[in-house]
Chains A and B, each alone.
Chain A
Amino acid sequence: MLLRIIAAALMLIALNYYLPEDAPINSFVRLALYLVPYLIVGHDILIKAFKGIKHGQIFDENFLMAVATLGALALALYYNNDYTEAIAVMLFYQTGELFQGYAVGKSRRSISDLMDIRPDYANIENAETGELEQVDPDEVEIGSVIVVQAGEKIPIDGIITEGSSSLNTSALTGESVPRDVKTGDEVISGCINLNGLLKVKTTREFGESTASKILDLVENASSRKSKSENFITKFARVYTPAVCISALALAIFPPLVNLLVLNTAPEWGQWIYRALTFLVISCPCALVISIPLSFFAGLGGASRAGILIKGSNYLETLSQVKCVVFDKTGTLTQGVFDVSAVHPDHDKSSEFHDEIISHMSEHDHEHHEHHAHGAGLSDEELLHLTAHVERYSTHPIASSLRKAYPHEADDCVIENVEELSGYGIRAMVNGDEVCVGNFRMMDELGIKWHECHKTGTVIHVAINGEYAGHVIISDVAKRGAKEAISELKDAGVERVVMLTGDAKPVANEVAENLGITEFHAELLPAGKVIEVEKLLAYYKKSQGKLAFVGDGINDAPVLSRADVGIAMGAMGSDAAIEAADVVLMDDDPLKTAKAIKIAKKCMRIVYQNIYFSIGVKLLCLLLGALGLANMWLAVFADVGVMLIAVLNAIRALLVKNI
C-alpha cells in the first residue's frame, strides 16, 4: 500500500513537471497518462465500490470516493485538463486510511500489552524425571503443584507450598511496590514472580483464575456501549446519506434555478464540482473511529491503574457522579477488626475488665486462674464461646473473633448455626444456646444488656437467654481514606455519604476523623438499600449520578442498585467482580477518586473529538457549498480531522498523573 502511494505520488509529480498545461498533446492521451497513477493508488477503491453497488451499499465510502474522484476527472476532461486534483484526493484518502489502520493497530497493541497478564503456560514437575514440563494452563487440575520460576507469570491461583519471593502485582493493581510472599500465602494469577522459585498448589482452574476473569472482563468491557458511542454511530448512519442527498441537490437545483428563474448561465461544472466536494466530506470514518478509540484508551488506561471498568457506559456514568456513598467497613476502614477488650458480665466488678486481649492469646495460665473467681465467665471463656459461634461466618467481625481466639478449632460441638442478617448469630455450643450479636439482637430476644464505656463495635453475648457480657472490637481507618474524601471533592463530587451498620458513636468517630459530614449509622443491609434509593431519587432530578463503594461482601444488592457500583479489594473475590460495575483491584480508597478523574478526562476527550470532528465537517460543508472550499480542503478535512482525533484519543491512555 505504502509503495503504491509513493509510486503514484512520484508519477503525479513527474507528469505535472513534464506535461505543462499547454503541452501540445491530445487531451485523451493526457488523460490516459494521468489515469496510470490514479489507478495505481485507487484501483481497489473502484473495485470495492463496484462490489458495494452490487450488494446495494450505495453509501459505502469506497463508492463515495470513487464517484467524487471519477467525477472530478470527468469535469477536468471537459473543462481544463487538470487531473491533478482528483488523483491527489485519492492519494490523500489512501494515505489517511493507511495511517488510520496503523494508529488503530498500534493503540490496540499498546493497550493489550498493558493487560499482558495472560499466562501462556504452566510448569509442572515430571514425577519420574524431576524435570520441568511446560503444559497448557487449561489442562492443570485443581490441587496440582505448579512451579513458577523467577521472571515468570503465575498462571493459576493457588497457595505457595514451597519457597518465598517478591511478586510484581503492577499489571493487576497498578501498584509498583513488590509484594513479599512466603510459604502458605495465597497468590493470584497474573502476578510476576520476581526472584525466588515458587511451588504453588493450585486452588482453581485456569478459567476460574483471577487473570482469566480479569481478561474476560476487560476484553468484553467496550461491548457495553456508552450513549456517546451510540450517538455517534447513529449520527454517522444519518450523516452520510444526508450529505449525499444534499450533494445531489447541490448539483441539480442551483444550475436549474440559474437557468430557469434567473435566466443566467447554469454553470453546471461549478455546481457539480461543489457537489463532488460534498461527497468527499461525507465519509464517516473519521467521525466513527475516534469515539470508540477514546473509550478503549480510557478503559485501557484505567486498567493500567488497577481500576477495571466493565463498559464504556460506566465510564460515562462515572464522569457524571455527584454523590459517592461509602459503605464504611472495608472501604474507608480496614475491615480487619481487632478485639480491643473483652468484658464478661460479672456481678462483682473485676479489676481485669480492660485487660487487652494480647495477654489472652498467650494463654497465660496464671491469668486464666485469676479470672476463674469471677461470678460469670472468664475473659477467655467468653471469647471462646463467641469464636465458636462465629466459626462458619464469613463476616469480617467473625474472622477477627476467630483470630483473637486461636484455639477455636477444638472439639467443642457446634450445631444449629443460624445467621440472622443485621443481628448476629445463634448456635448451640456443647448443648447451650449461645447468641452473639448486636444490641438489636439482644432486644429481639428480650435480654437485658448494657452499654460499654469504650468506643468500638460492641458484640453482645447471651447464653441460654442470660446476658453473659460483651466483646469490643474496633476497626482502623485506612491509610489514604481521608485524602480520598478530599480528592473526591476535588474531582467534582458534591456529596459524600457514609453508611454503616455500626453504632452511631463509632460511625461518628470515623466520620469526624475522615472529614465526612453526612452518615447514616445502625443500618441493616436492607436499610442501606433504602438510604441509597432515597439519594438516587434525589439525584434523579438533578441529573447527577450516584456511585456506591463497597467491599463486595454483603453489599451486592446496593452495588447493583446504584448508578455505578464500585467494589474494592477485588483481588480474588469473585462476588465483587460479578456484582460491581467498577472493580478496584486493591483496596486503596484513593482509587475511587482516581477512577472518577480518569472517567472525566476520557469523557472530555470524547466530547472534544465529537465537537471537533462534527464541527470541522459542517464548516467544510458550508464552505464547500459556497464554493470557498475546494476538494483539496475537503480531503484534508477528512483525513486531518481523523488524525487529530485519533491522536487526541490516545491521550486517554495517559492516566498516571491524575
Chain B
Amino acid sequence: MKKSYKIDVDCAACADKMEVAAAKTPGVKSASVNFMTLKMNVEFEDGQDAKAVMQAVRDNCKKVEEDCEVYI
C-alpha cells in the first residue's frame, strides 16, 4: 500500500534525513521525500496499519530533524 503525506521542513538536507529516518521505521517498505513539493510518499509493508506506522515515522523524523512536521 502506498500513501502520500504532506510534510513541512525547511532545508533539502533535512528532507533527506527525514527520508532515511522514515525508510528505517519498522513497517515501512520504502519512503521517498520530495523537498520541492513537500510530500512524503510511503509504501507500507503488507498488513501494516498505516496510521500507527506513520506515528512512528513522525517520531523518528522529529528525532533527526527537530523542526520538521509530518501531517498524518
Residues of A whose CB lies within 8 Å of any CB of B are: 48, 51-52, 55, 57, 61, 97, 100-101, 104, 108, 111, 219-220, 222-223, 225, 233, 236-237, 284-285, 288-289, 292-293, 295-296
**B12 sits at the interface (CB 8 A):** yes
Decide if A233 touches B16 in the complex (CB within 8 Å).
yes
The listed residue (A101, A108, A285) touching B36 by CB distance below 8 A is A108
The residue in chain B whose Cβ has the minimal distance to the Cβ of A297 is B36
Contact of A220 with B11 in the complex, beta carbons under 8 Å = no
CB of A51 within 8 A of CB of B16, answer no
Q: Which residue of A lies closest to B63 (CB)?
A: A55
Residue contacts A-B, CB under 8 angstroms, 7 given:
A52-B66, A222-B37, A233-B16, A284-B13, A285-B11, A285-B13, A292-B12
Tell me how far the C-beta of A396 lies from the nearest C-beta in chain B, rounded to whole angstroms.
Answer: 35
Which one, B11, B32, B64, contacts A100 given CB within 8 A? B11
The answer to whether B16 touches A223, judged by C-beta atoms less than 8 angstroms apart, is: no
Q: How far is the CA of A220 from the CA of B35 in the complex (A)?
A: 12
Instruction: Pick from A220, A288, A296: contact of B13, CB below 8 A.
Output: A288
Docked complex Cα distance between A52 and B64 (Å): 7
Interface size range of chain B in the complex: 10 to 19
Q: Residue A61 contacts which of B4, B13, B39, B63 (CB distance < 8 angstroms)? A: B13
Cβ < 8 Å to A, chain B residues 8-62: 10-13, 16-17, 32, 34-39, 41
> Given that A48-B67, A51-B66, A52-B66 are known contacts, is A293 also in contact with B13, CB under 8 Å in the complex?
no
Q: Is the CB of A236 within 8 A of B36?
A: no
B residues near A (Cβ < 8 Å) are 4, 10-13, 16-17, 32, 34-39, 41, 63-64, 66-67
Q: Are A288 and B39 in contact (CB under 8 A)?
A: no
With a cutoff of 8 Å between Cβ atoms, the chain B residues found around residue A296 in the complex are: 36-37
CA distance A223 to B15 in the complex (A): 13
- B10 neighbours in A (Cβ, 8 Å): 101
Residues of B within 8 A of A284 (CB): 13
Whether A237 and B36, one on each chain, are in contact in the complex, defined by CB atoms closer than 8 angstroms, is no
Q: Is the CB of A292 within 8 A of B39?
A: no
Given pairs A57-B17, A233-B16, A284-B13, 18 additional interface contacts (CB within 8 A): A48-B67, A55-B66, A100-B11, A101-B10, A104-B35, A108-B36, A108-B38, A220-B4, A220-B41, A222-B37, A225-B32, A236-B16, A288-B13, A289-B13, A292-B12, A293-B36, A296-B36, A296-B37
Task: Take A219-B37, A220-B4 as given contacts and tell me if A236 and B13 are in contact as well, using a CB distance cutoff of 8 Å.
Answer: yes
B67: chain A residues within 8 A (beta carbon): 48
Contact A57 B64 (CB under 8 A): yes
Q: Are A288 and B16 in contact (CB under 8 A)?
A: yes
The listed residue (A223, A225, A289, A295) touching B11 by CB distance below 8 A is: A289
- Cα-based distance from A101 to B38 in the complex (angstroms): 13
Residues of B contacting A: mostly? mixed
B34 in contact with A222 (CB, 8 Å)? yes
CB-based nearest B residue for A62: B66
Q: In the assembled complex, how far is the CB of residue B61 from the closest CB belonging to chain A, in whole angstroms?
A: 11
Q: Which residues from chain B contact A233 at a C-beta distance below 8 Å? A: 16
Least CB distance from B12 to A in Å reads 4
- Is the pair B36, A223 in contact by a Cβ cutoff of 8 Å? no
Interface centre among B4, B10, B12, B17 (most CB of A within 10 A): B12
Measured between beta carbons, the chain B residues less than 8 angstroms from A222 are 34, 36-37
Contact A223 B39 (CB under 8 A): yes
**In-complex Cβ contact of A223 among B13, B41, B63, B64 (8 A):** B41
Rounded to whole angstroms, the CA-CA distance of A293 and B34 in the bound complex is: 10
Interchain CB contact under 8 A, B36 and A219? no
Name which residue of chain A comes closest to B41, CB basis: A223
Interfacial chain B residues near A236, Cβ < 8 Å: 13, 16
Within 8 Å by CB of A285, from B12, B32, B38, B64, lies B12
Within the complex, the shortest CB–CB distance from A653 to chain B, in Å, comes to 12
What residue of chain B has the Cβ atom nearest to residue A52's Cβ?
A: B66
Q: Is the CB of B13 within 8 A of A292?
A: no
**A295–B10 Cα gap in the complex (Å)?**
18
Given contacts A233-B16, A237-B16, A284-B13, contact A292 B64 (CB under 8 A): no
User: By the criterion CB–CB under 8 Å, are B64 and A288 in contact?
Assistant: no
A134 to B62, CA, bound (A): 40
The 3 closest A-B pairs by CB, nearest first: A296-B36, A288-B12, A289-B12
Residues of A within 8 A of B37 (CB): 108, 219, 222, 296
Complex interface: chain B residues within 8 A of A61 (CB): 11, 13
* CB nearest to B66 among chain A residues: A51
A223 touches B32 (CB 8 A): yes
Instruction: With both chains docked as a complex, state the minimum distance between the C-beta of A578 and any C-beta of chain B, in angstroms.
Output: 16
A111 to B34, CA, bound (A): 15
Q: Which residues of B contact A289 (CB under 8 A)?
A: 11-13, 35
Q: Hey, which chain A residues are within 8 Å of B32, CB to CB?
A: 223, 225
> A56's closest neighbor in chain B, by CB?
B63
Question: Complex Cα distance A288/B9, Å?
Answer: 14
Residues of B within 8 A of A293 (CB): 12, 36
